[in-house]
């Protein structure tokens, strides 16, 4: 009899733990979904690409090819709690223009300045839209 009681106790504890794990899993999934909105993926790609460009510039290379993927900023879907307002459209256009100028071989402005200008546009938009990643974006600036 005593043994049976222990068994139930144990089974109860086990199922409790299982439930907890399931809840944890669910929460993680929601988080992941947020993380991977089309726009968030694009942003992370733009971050990685600009980091690569920064390294090239520091190494004395002149980047020549505007990454066409950056134009997706005009169409990529945002996390569902955010929407595209006029502000966002205006900043996207300014950002794309500044980023294109990085690859403008005819420009007289030093490449470092043009690159920092483009990163400055990332930061300007983030100041109005989502301030969280700003410290990370600032690391892209060439000092
Ligand atoms: C026109 C406005 C705008 C511009 C320009 C912009 N961002 Fe963003 N960024 C956003 C918004 C809005 C989000 C949130 C996206 C979402 O949650 O769907 C975001 C998200 C991010 C994130 C977080 C992504 C994640 O995993 O959640 C990073 C990192 C980021 N941006 C870096 C950059 C970099 C680097 C640039 C410039 C190369 C840049 N952003 C240019 C508006 C902008």
> For the segment 94-115, what is each residue's pLDDT rounded down to a tens digit?
999 999 999 999 999 999 999 9
Average pLDDT, integer, range 62-76: 95
Q: Which two tokens stand for residue 50?
A: 């600009």
133 lines ligand 1 (CB under 6 A): yes
Neighbours of 20 (CB within 10 A): 10
The closest-lying atom of ligand 1 relative to the alpha carbon of residue 89 is 1
Assess contact for 77 and 37: CB atoms under 8 A. yes
Indicate yes or no: pTM above 0.85.
Answer: no
The reported pLDDT for the residue numbered 19 is: 46
82 lines ligand 1 (CB under 6 A): yes
Assess contact for 47 and 73: CB atoms under 8 A. no
Residue with CA nearest ligand 1 atom 28: 43
Counting Cα atoms < 13 Å in the Cβ hemisphere of 113 gives: 4
Whether the pLDDT of residue 13 is over 90: the answer is: no
Residue with CA nearest ligand 1 atom 22: 43
Assess contact for 94 and 124: CB atoms under 8 A. yes
Higher pLDDT, 16 or 3: 3
116 lines ligand 1 (CB under 6 A): no
The reported pLDDT for the residue numbered 30 is: 52
Phi then psi for 80, rounded to 5 degrees?
Answer: -65, -15
């Amino acid at each position: 009899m005593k043994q049976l009681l222990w068994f139930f106790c144990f089974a109860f504890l086990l199922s409790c733990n299982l439930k907890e794990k399931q809840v944890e899993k669910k929460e993680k999934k929601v988080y992941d979904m947020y993380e991977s909105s089309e726009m968030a993926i694009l942003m992370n790609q733009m971050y990685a690409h600009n980091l690569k460009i920064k390294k090239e510039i520091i190494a004395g290379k002149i980047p020549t090819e505007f990454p066409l993927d950056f134009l997706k900023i005009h169409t990529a879907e945002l996390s569902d709690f955010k929407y595209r307002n006029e502000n966002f459209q205006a900043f996207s256009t300014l950002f794309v223009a500044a980023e294109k100028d990085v690859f403008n071989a005819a420009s007289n402005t030093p490449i470092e300045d043009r690159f920092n200008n483009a990163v400055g546009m990332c930061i300007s938009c983030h100041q109005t839209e989502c301030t969280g990643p700003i410290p990370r974006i600032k690391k892209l600036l060439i000092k």
